[in-house]
Amino acid sequence: MSSLQLEPVDSVDVTIVVDNFVDVLMAGEQDVRRYPLPVHFFHGEHLIAEHGYSTLITVRLEGSSSRILYDAGLSKDGLAHNLDVLQTNALDLRAIVISHGHADHHGGLERLLRRHGPPHLPLVIHPAAWRERRIVLPTGNEVLLPAPSRADLEAEGIQVVEEAGPTLIVDGTILVSGQVERTTEFETGFPVHQARTEGGTWEPDPLILDDQNVVVNVRDLGLVVVSACSHSGAVNVVRNARRLTGIDPIGGFVGGFHLTGGLFEPIIGPTVSAFIEMGVRRLVPGHCTGWRAVHELARRLPDAFVQTSVGTTLHFQSMA
């Protein structure tokens, strides 16, 4: 396919609003701004961590800025709470993007919308995200994964944009990947994952085809990829971003690798090796990456690795 024309921007900030980890005493570094500990921290509202993911992505071009929300965390109140603590205007958005239909990525959205009133924003989502899912563990235990409700979202004033393929938003400066092309031999999906059919039965759904990410092209730096769970495989995610845009340098990767647990730990090695080979300049693994994978990424890519924490803002700027 011919490359999409992803407009370059001067910079992009990625703020971690919801993630599995928070450490308010963590030191920052160049282009990594940690949440500033307020004077009355121990008597006020605190940032909270949960098993979910959400980021604010702010692009800047020629003195103006635009912002989107990518995912909405798990709990009903976690997203809204952390936005309040970060003193962020929840309605100062151009669009909302949902990475996939699992509840730990959309759970806080409806409460946020209901609280602030109809935003009349576009929400970009893959058509398969509405399917009800579950995980059936080897023990026989089941974990239900409720899908978002299109009717509820539209009732709150959201303009649902269903798209399976890539979508350019915010004046062509942000790419929503759509369904990710699978090219690696080792990223084969989630074997214990199932989806409900229209007839009400369950069928295998290992690929989770609605998994999608967000890509920004920072002038003279390269692509910044934000991926919530990378169910399609983190290496596939980066390769797909390159394929769609025709741009090879990867300025940063922020998000989940889904390498946690016994099913995925065997592919930590080839995943890390591929990221080394691709020359990713900054790496911020979060959410479902898993502690073994995080440690291996930090060990083998020490100059690129940044520890995630709720409230952290990663700044990616043109090197010109």
Phi, psi of 142, rounded to the nearest 5 degrees: -115, 145
Give the whole-angstrom CA distance, residue 130 versus residue 151. Answer: 11
Per the CB < 8 A criterion, the answer to whether 62 and 89 are in contact is no
pLDDT tens-digit map of 162-207: 999 999 999 999 999 999 999 999 999 999 999 999 999 999 999 9
SS3 70: strand
Mean pLDDT across 237-253 = 98
What does the DSSP assignment read for 115-137? HH-----EEEE-GGGGS-EEEE-
Q: What is the CA radius of gyration of the chain?
A: 18
Please report, for residues 20, 69, 120, 132, 139, the alpha-carbon distance to residue 143 in angstroms, rounded to integers and kept in the order given: 19, 27, 33, 11, 12
Tokens, residue 143: 């974990």
So what's the pLDDT on residue 117? 74
So what's the pLDDT on residue 2? 60
So what's the pLDDT on residue 111? 87
Tokens, residue 219: 């002038």
pLDDT tens-digit map of 25-66: 999 999 999 998 876 677 778 999 999 999 999 999 999 999
Give the whole-angstrom CA distance, residue 214 versus residue 88. Answer: 21
pLDDT tens-digit map of 104-159: 999 999 889 888 777 789 999 999 999 999 999 988 899 999 999 999 999 988 99
- Range list of β-strands (E), 62-198: 64-70, 95-97, 122-125, 133-136, 142-145, 159-162, 167-169, 174-176, 193-196
So what's the pLDDT on residue 138? 86
So what's the pLDDT on residue 320? 64
- In the chain the domains, ranked by start, together with CATH numbers, are 11-317 (3.60.15.10)
pTM given for the model: 0.96
Max Cα-Cα span within the chain:
57
Give the whole-angstrom CA distance, residue 11 versus residue 46. Answer: 29
So what's the pLDDT on residue 1? 52
